[in-house]
């Protein structure tokens, strides 16, 4: 049965309306602006550690033990003066003394908590300087950069996730640290929520909190 004239006319009028709707939806998706750089929080300033609100890994964890006495690491990443034998950091599969030393050193570096952070921010870079004058530069373009932390090689990348700065670091020794920097509160407060992943252990979450030094 052929469609009636009224049915054909209804379809003919519906098509332009449908086409207009599709075009409008596509235009809205294309023209919707990304979050402007001015909408991102300003991390710049001098920040003092708030020891009461800072939460580091629980006592007894491998992460905490790595901050204690350990074999010094030479320029090659191997322990100086020998190691403790082929045991793994997390108590899992056996690994070489060199691997164990690298992992312990990487965990120690990942857990370093500075009493002061001075942050300067430019259009395409963020520079963080600790109380000893050591600086590191972040470019929040999600591109991997390689640097040295002591004797270890570190691959880092940073990006903005809405109003949060996300920094990922991968250390020699198969240790990964992910940090999320957020600003909030009155007076201003910087919170660094961190997640540490290391061989043979479950991931551990902790946070460092800093108060703005001045208005």
pLDDT at 1: 54
Same-domain check for residues 101 and 140: yes
Whether the per-residue pLDDT at 52 is higher than 90: the answer is yes
Task: Work out the pLDDT band at 192, boundaries 50, 70, 90.
Answer: very high
Task: Work out the pLDDT band at 194, boundaries 50, 70, 90.
Answer: very high
Same-domain check for residues 98 and 127: yes
pLDDT digits (tens, 9 = 90+) for 62-110: 555 555 544 333 333 333 333 333 344 444 455 688 888 999 999 999 9
Same-domain check for residues 202 and 96: yes
How many angstroms separate the CA atoms of 213 and 73, rounded? 35
Whether the per-residue pLDDT at 4 is higher than 80: the answer is no
pLDDT at 61: 57
Four-point Cα dihedral 82, 84, 88, 90, nearest 10:
-120
pLDDT at 64: 53
Q: What is the CATH number of the domain that holds 207?
A: 2.40.128.20
Kindly state the average pLDDT of the residues 147-160: 94
Same-domain check for residues 63 and 114: yes
pLDDT digits (tens, 9 = 90+) for 108-144: 999 999 999 999 998 789 999 999 999 999 999 999 9
For residue 18, the enclosing domain spans 1-32
DSSP string, 3-41: PPHHHHHHHHHHHHHHHHHHHHHHHHHHHPPPPPGGGS-
Same-domain check for residues 2 and 56: no
pLDDT at 69: 47
Same-domain check for residues 15 and 103: no
Q: What pTM value is reported for the model? A: 0.69
Of 101 and 12, more confident: 101
Q: How far is CA 72 from CA 14, 155, 171, 189, 196, in A?
A: 77, 22, 17, 36, 22
Same-domain check for residues 21 and 80: no
- Say if residues 101 and 87 touch (Cβ distance below 8 Å): no
DSSP character for 115? S
Most confident of 7-11, 30-34, 73-77, 206-210: 206-210
- Say if residues 42 and 184 touch (Cβ distance below 8 Å): no
Same-domain check for residues 50 and 27: no
Whether the per-residue pLDDT at 38 is higher than 80: the answer is no
Kindly state the average pLDDT of the residues 185-190: 90
Number of separate domains in the chain: 2
Task: Work out the pLDDT band at 31, boundaries 50, 70, 90.
Answer: very low
Of 68 and 42, more confident: 42
Same-domain check for residues 61 and 22: no
Q: State the average pLDDT for the chain.
A: 78
Same-domain check for residues 5 and 107: no
Same-domain check for residues 81 and 160: yes
């Amino acid at each position: 049965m052929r469609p009636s004239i009224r049915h054909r006319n209804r379809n003919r009028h519906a098509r332009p309306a449908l086409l207009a709707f599709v075009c409008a939806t596509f235009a809205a998706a294309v023209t919707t602006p990304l979050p402007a750089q001015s909408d991102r929080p300003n991390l710049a300033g001098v920040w003092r550690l708030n020891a009461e609100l800072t939460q580091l890994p629980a006592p007894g964890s491998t992460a905490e033990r790595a901050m204690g006495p350990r074999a010094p690491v030479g320029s090659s990443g191997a322990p100086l003066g020998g190691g403790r034998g082929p045991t793994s950091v997390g108590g899992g599969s056996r690994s070489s003394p060199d691997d164990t030393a690298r992992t312990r050193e990487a965990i120690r570096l990942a857990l370093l908590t500075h009493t002061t952070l001075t942050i300067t921010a430019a259009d395409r870079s963020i520079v963080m300087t600790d109380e000893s004058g050591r600086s590191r530069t972040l470019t929040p373009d999600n591109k991997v950069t390689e640097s040295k932390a002591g004797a270890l090689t570190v691959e880092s990348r940073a990006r903005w996730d809405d109003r949060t700065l996300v920094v990922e670091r991968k250390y020699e020794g198969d240790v990964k640290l992910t940090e999320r920097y957020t600003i909030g509160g009155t007076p201003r407060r910087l919170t660094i929520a961190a997640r540490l992943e290391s061989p043979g252990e479950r991931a551990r979450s902790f946070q460092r909190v800093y108060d703005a030094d001045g208005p």
